[in-house]
Structure 1
Amino acid sequence: MEFTWPTEAADAFARVVASTENWPVADENLSGRELWDACAELGLLGLSVPQEYGGQGHGFVTTARAAEGFGLGCRDFGLVFSVLAHLFACAMPIAEFAGPAVRRRVLPELCSGRWRGANAITEDSAGSDATAVRASAVREGDAYLLNGAKTFVSNGPGADVFVIYARTDDTAGHLGLSAFVVERGTPGLQVGEAFEKTGLRSCPASGLTLRDCRVPAGARLGREGQGAAIFQAAMRWERTCLFAAYLGQMTRVVDRCVQQARSRRQFGRRIGANQAVSHRLARLQLGVEAARLLLYRACWLLDRGEPATSEIAMAKLAVSESAVETSLAAVHLFGGAGVRVDDGIELELRNALPSTIFSGTSEMQLEQIAAGMRL
């Protein structure tokens, strides 16, 4: 058993932290390209995409370590989320399941930052239950006609290409779902305006509608009916490597809390000298380290070609719930300053809150863990 970082992973972490730690923080929907292009220059937009298509070609461990560095260095977690959703929910399904022509056309654009990618599976009546998707895809000769509506499309307002999931067979349950690559400007595809969210506000999100949107059959990912499997493959990346960024965020928040406990004085002594404070910070550190071990174990197993279904679920659950607890504790520790918008602590909490919902709720992760226990 080895607990040292591979050189590739260590170098990626250090480089990303050093490059992003002075980036500005935004708390609104952004359409600017400057930071997006900077992410492309760092290789963040294609960390796990094969090199032949313009990516870095990293496996799970190195990709996760780079993402952790991104979450640690970059205080704008909405940007972090935007970049990693682009990579794991759009670029990776294309890299792993698209035909050669689609991969050659789309992936270099995504890795270079010229295009922004988005995923569209969620509907008003289909969140945790992907089998409830009602958007349809009907085969007509060498094309499909897509109809329906999607919501919570992260990067949607500015996306250039979408991975859209639609039902090709109403009678086949999860085997009736298929996935398609649809470029912006395709007739019948209409992208909605960005809507307001509690957290991750600098990652714009919207809905989209499909009205007889004609998509070539060659733009389908994988086989017809393989959509659920493609989505789960994307979730392997997202539930590990995207959540590694939350490890970085938690580390940054705990470090701020420790500095506050050392410097803030009340009743004639440092607040860190109070056992109630020091013990809570010790528990936060425990949560971060335990979540980190679970996450990198899952990544290590995935790099070995193992399914790691339960391990992924445990990692996602541990990281997301620790992220919320850490940020909530920080607000409490900082007191009045913790709820001031200009101090940044309340923003960390708002960015952590969605983590227990997206990529599968905590309850869904518990179901996966229980299934692995044959319960």
Structure 2
Amino acid sequence: MNFDFDAGFDDDTTQMRDMVVRFARRELASPGCFDDAGDFRRRWRLAGKQGLVGTSVPGEFGGSGLDAVAAAATMEALGYGCADTGFAFSVAAHLFAAVMPVVEFGTEEQRGAWLPALSSGERIAAHAVTEPEAGSDALRLHTRARAVDGGYVLNGSKCFITNAPVADVFVVQAATDARGGFFGLTTFLVQASTPGLTVGRPYDKVGLRGSPTADVHFDDCPVPAGAVLGAEGAGASIFSSSMKWERTCLFAAYLGAMRRVLESTVEHARNREQFGSPIGDFQAVSHRIVDMLGRYEGARLLLYRAARSLADGGADEIGPALAKIAVSEAAVQLGLDAVQLRGALGVLDGEAESLLRDALPARIFSGTNEIQKNNVARALGLGRRRPVARR
């Protein structure tokens, strides 16, 4: 097995993918845990010079202008070449959850002010939506934005915010209508240096340890009217759009990590001998590897189908949800299988146990897999309470 596989990519995308793999292997090696903000930014700037943090940003604002398929291919290559899946996750979260909302909903002034630096690696963005009591129920946020002369004042707290310890700007979802509902949320672009904004200590996580994560607090934090992204009340629409990008293109990084571990597992099965034969000769081992490959390939097909729909401007809600479910579940199971097939070596520090730890959060972030199933059922016209016929 090698990385030379076809997903209908054109020559430019194939060459770009191979270049990203070589770059990531050469420049993005790290211990795989966030403990040095300076080194994190050093690698981030390198990734920016390579075009990785702005792949889907239009060229006029310093990005590469790639569509969703090519952007997913880039993230897959990054996940394959960079053994620090947490770093790849941070890049993808920055781009798809925080930068793409500015691309799609920002004013010309907002785009010009933020996108060039966010695309070059000079600045880092974070998407602040999750709260202690509003994770899956994103329409009932407790963070409030109170209108005042010239703008708003934010009060509240966010938790589990990817890139928070290193972010220069936050894309913040807050309630401008206390009654909640679809039109009760508004999105703000808030600079990290704004008075009243504080970031907590980085979390010590089980997985994605190379991705810095922390809480964010707003205490009478002033934001000007020009910091509103889209329009007041458009927050839910902006959030939904960003999740389509995230549930599709971000999860491509996991495909790359899965492929990397799958290849090393095959190599291990070919070379590890027990009872006088390579363990790959045993049917229990070979069949498990075939199952690993099948899950990987099936998840990959779903993801790129969703990416193609997104690139074509489709309004598909089912595709991104199914892709997110398939990739995350396949990554967890592939990690379990890779650990099992390595025996005692699998529970030592290495890429098999790292994939498993990094995959576990994938079933939770971007909307839990249970919520994704609810979304798919709702799109199919299921899960609604049927009115009772009156007699």
TM-score when scaled to structure 1?
0.97
Matching residue of 2:23: 19
3-state DSSP of counterpart to 1:21 = helix
1:345, distance to aligned residue in structure 2 (A): 2.1
Residue among 222, 233, 245 paired with 1:237:
245
What runs of 5+ residues in structure 1 fail to find an aligned partner?
Answer: none
Task: Tell me the alpha carbon deviations over residues 1-59 of structure 1, each in whole angstroms, 9 at most, x when there is no partner.
Answer: x9621223212211111211243232321312221111011100100011111111111
**Which whole-Å CA distance do the structure 1 matches of 2:115 and 2:193 have between them?**
18
Map 1:90-239; keep pairs closer than 5 Å: 90-239=98-247
Q: Secondary structure at the match of 2:205?
A: coil
Aligned twin of 1:10: 14
Write the deviation string for residues 47-89 of structure 1: whole angstroms up to 9, x where unpaired.
Answer: 0011111111111000000110001111111110111111111
Counterpart of 2:70? Answer: 62
Identity across matched positions, percent: 46
Once residues 203 and 182 of structure 1 are traced to their aligned partners in structure 2, the CA distance between those partners, rounded to angstroms, is 21
Match of 1:367 in 2: 374
Query: TM-score if structure 2 supplies the norm length?
Result: 0.93
1:346 maps to 353
Q: 1:215 to 1:318 in 2, by over 3 A?
A: same
Question: Which residue identity is paired with 2:380?
Answer: M
| CA drift at 1:308 | 1.6
Q: Are the equivalent residues in 2 in contact too, given 1:200–1:350 (CA < 8 A)?
A: yes
**Aligned partner of residue 223 in structure 2, secondary structure:** strand
Q: Where does residue 28 of structure 1 map in the other structure?
A: 33
Q: Helix, strand or coil for the counterpart of 1:61?
A: helix
1:350 Cα deviation (Å)? 0.7
- Partner of 1:211: helix, strand, or coil? strand
Q: Is the 8 A contact 1:130 1:174 kept in 2?
A: no
- Structure 2 gaps, min length 5: 1-5, 383-391
- Per the TM alignment, residue 196 of structure 1 is displaced from its structure 2 partner at its CA by 0.8
Cα deviation digits, residues 138-158 of structure 1 (max 9, x gap): 111221000001111111011
1:348 alignment partner AA? L
SS at match of 1:4: coil
CA contact (8 A) 1:99 1:218 kept: no
1:52 is matched with 60
Counterpart Cα distance in 2 of 1:12 and 1:3 = 14
Q: Which amino acid aligns with 1:24?
A: A
* Structure-2 separation of matches of 1:289 and 1:122: 31
- SS of the equivalent of 2:134 reads coil
Query: What residue identity is the alignment partner of 1:10?
Result: T
Between the aligned partners of 2:127 and 2:367, the Cα distance in structure 1 is: 14
User: How far apart, CA to CA, are the structure 2 residues paired with 1:76 and 1:274?
Assistant: 32
The offset of 1:202, in angstroms, is: 1.1
Count of residues in Structure 1 that have an aligned counterpart in Structure 2: 373
Give, in angstroms, the shift of residue 373 of structure 1.
Answer: 2.2
- Cα shift at 1:349: 1.0
Instruction: Give CA-to-partner distance per residue, 1:200-233, whole Å, 9 cap, x none.
Output: 1111111011011110111111111111110111
For residues 358 and 177 of structure 2, what CA distance do their matches in structure 1 show? 37
| Cα RMSD after superposing both structures | 1.2
SS of the residue 1:170 aligns to? coil
What whole-Å deviation, never above 9, does each CA across 1:305-332 have from its counterpart, x for those lacking one?
Answer: 1112101111111001000000111111
In structure 2, the residue matched to 1:42 is 50
Following superposition, the deviation at residue 103 of structure 1 comes to 1.2
Structure 1 stretch displaced more, 279-288 or 29-38: 29-38
**Given residue 304 of structure 1, which amino acid in structure 2 is its aligned partner?**
D
- Contact persistence 2:207–2:359 (CA under 8 A): yes
- SS class of match (1:296): helix
In the alignment, residue 205 of structure 2 is paired with which amino acid? K
**SS of residue in 2 equivalent to 1:132:** coil
> What amino acid maps onto 2:23 in structure 1?
S
Q: Distance in 2 between matches of 1:26 and 1:219?
A: 37
Give the match's secondary structure for 2:251.
Answer: helix
